[in-house]
């Protein structure tokens, strides 16, 4: 059993401060090795495997003894306890290799980047996976990440339609512009229609807030059409169109050299309810290479002045915290101005502001569009996964289809 002193299921967590350890893991990211910051997925097909990259910096006076442990999960990200899915002998990466950062770099000393699968680690099952970066000296998990492994058996076709808000409970709190996503497929003869489970849709990099179309939970917003044979259509309505993300880029140390930087160099961010922003990077980040003499960590101020009075709490989310609404990213209020200072490595980051209510350590009533606006023209990536109740090895949640839908309405 892994002892977890700081637990946050993210594929990008900026800093893990761990009691009992003399070092910090920073800029922790997981992505498909095809490009920096891409969606964390390994696709196994006739063209071969693409690879998963795990990358992070370490602030430490010495090289730590770390290992990475991989676990296969059900559709709710819970690791299977069955021995059949433990992948014993091929689920742990030992002897991690670290690069030393230039002596001029402030905030970190070592860098790790590994690609998987490899000689030590394999991913034999199609579905959701979690890994833990573990301090091997005291068996403490310091960081964790999520990713997907897909062995496609079904060809999916996704379509995006312009729509209007159908949920009357949300009508007073959101602009009505939404998308409707339709997912069509024909099941092969060797698969059984009764085992088709659900479709999960993930927008850009927002893994922890998916749209789920459950086959057995019908309503006017999530439903399926089935011909009682092999043809299925899964439909999700009221997918909020949103706006392009905000972007901050302080990669160039020659231009941005102040001890403390502002995310918006022109002053305060403002509400964007009435204008569609310029194209973003669909939630990704691009960091200064670890070998660069200026790959420093510096304090960055995020400052917001909404155009209307907001009674709710305001939270910062972005590629630096896995697009997860967290209590520690709540902005401090000074009258009608809001501010948060966090440490970031030099680079380019997508981010935005959301409203919500912090209660008992949890954020409730999250609204993604109140400050940012909502426009059909917003271009996003929608990662679509088809889950199947496989009976193999005692049964598990198997991903049998994947489709990347890129869209926005012109």
Nearest to 285 by CA among 35, 7, 21: 35
- Token match 């030590």: residue? 120
Give me the CATH topology for the region 3-150.
Immunoglobulin-like (2.60.40)
Residue-level pLDDT, tens digit, the chain, 410 residues = 333 333 333 333 433 334 445 789 999 999 998 788 899 999 998 777 789 999 999 999 999 999 999 999 999 999 999 999 999 999 999 999 999 999 999 999 999 999 999 999 999 999 999 999 999 999 999 999 999 999 999 999 999 999 988 765 554 455 688 999 999 999 999 999 999 999 999 999 999 999 999 999 889 999 999 999 999 999 999 999 999 999 999 999 988 887 889 999 888 999 999 899 999 999 999 999 999 999 999 999 999 999 889 999 999 999 999 999 999 999 999 988 999 999 999 999 999 999 999 998 899 999 999 999 999 999 999 999 999 999 999 999 999 999 999 876 54
The strand pairing partners of 338, in sequence order, are: 304, 333
Residues of the chain with CATH 2.60.40: 3-150, 157-242+377-407, 246-367
For 170, the 3-state DSSP assignment is helix
Nearest to 313 by CA among 269, 370, 268, 354: 354
- Judge: domain 246-367, CATH 1.10.10: no
Phi, psi of 323 (to 5 degrees): 55, 40
The strand pairing partners of 103, in sequence order, are: none
CA 92 to chain centre: 23
DSSP annotation of 79: B
pLDDT at 12: 38
The C-alpha atoms of residue 148 and residue 272 are separated, in whole angstroms, by: 33
Pairing relationship of beta strands 222-226 and 246-249 according to DSSP bridges: unpaired
Q: Which residues contact 89 (CB under 8 A, 6 or more apart)?
A: none
CA 348 to chain centre: 16
The C-alpha atoms of residue 210 and residue 199 are separated, in whole angstroms, by: 10
pLDDT at 21: 59
Nearest to 351 by CA among 374, 379, 376, 317: 317
Q: Which residues contact 148 (CB under 8 A, 6 or more apart)?
A: 40, 41, 42, 127, 128, 129, 385, 399, 402
- Rounded to a whole number, what is the distance in angstroms from the first to the last CA of the chain? 51
Give me the CATH topology for the region 157-242+377-407.
Immunoglobulin-like (2.60.40)
């Amino acid at each position: 059993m892994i002892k977890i002193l700081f637990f946050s299921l993210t594929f990008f967590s900026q800093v893990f401060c761990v009691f009992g350890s003399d070092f910090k893991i920073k800029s922790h990211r997981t992505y498909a090795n095809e490009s920096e910051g891409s969606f964390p997925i390994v696709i196994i097909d006739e063209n071969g495997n693409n690879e998963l990259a795990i990358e992070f910096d370490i602030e430490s006076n010495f090289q730590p003894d770390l290992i990475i442990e991989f676990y296969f999960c059900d559709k709710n990200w819970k690791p299977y306890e069955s021995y059949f899915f433990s992948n014993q002998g091929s689920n742990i990466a030992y002897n991690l290799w670290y690069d030393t950062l230039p002596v001029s770099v402030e905030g970190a000393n070592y860098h790790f980047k590994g690609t998987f699968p490899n000689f030590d680690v394999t991913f034999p099952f199609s579905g959701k996976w979690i890994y833990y970066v573990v301090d091997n000296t005291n068996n403490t998990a310091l960081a964790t990440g999520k990713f997907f492994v897909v062995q496609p058996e079904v060809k999916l076709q996704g379509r995006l339609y312009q729509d209007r808000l159908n949920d009357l409970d949300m009508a007073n709190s959101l602009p009505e512009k939404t998308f409707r996503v339709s997912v069509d497929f024909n099941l092969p003869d060797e698969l059984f229609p009764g085992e088709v489970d659900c479709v999960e849709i993930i927008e850009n990099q927002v893994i922890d807030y998916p749209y789920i179309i459950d086959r057995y939970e019908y309503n006017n917003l999530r439903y399926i059409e089935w011909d009682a044979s092999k043809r299925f259509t899964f439909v999700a309505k009221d997918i909020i169109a949103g706006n392009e993300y905000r972007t901050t880029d302080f990669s160039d140390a020659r231009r941005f050299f102040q001890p403390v930087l502002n995310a918006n160099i022109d002053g305060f961010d403002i509400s964007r309810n009435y204008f569609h922003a310029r194209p973003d990077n669909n939630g990704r980040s691009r960091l200064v290479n670890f070998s660069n003499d200026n790959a420093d960590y510096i304090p960055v101020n995020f400052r917001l002045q909404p155009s209307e009075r907001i009674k709710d709490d305001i939270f910062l989310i972005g590629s630096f915290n896995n697009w997860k609404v967290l209590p520690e990213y709540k902005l401090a209020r000074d009258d009608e101005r809001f501010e948060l200072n966090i440490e970031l490595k030099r680079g380019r980051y997508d981010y935005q502001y959301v409203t919500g209510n912090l209660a008992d350590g949890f954020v409730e009533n999250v609204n993604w569009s109140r400050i940012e606006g909502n426009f059909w023209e917003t271009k996003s990536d929608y990662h679509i996964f088809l889950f199947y109740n496989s009976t193999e090895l005692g049964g598990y949640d198997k991903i049998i289809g994947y489709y990347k839908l890129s869209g926005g309405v012109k």
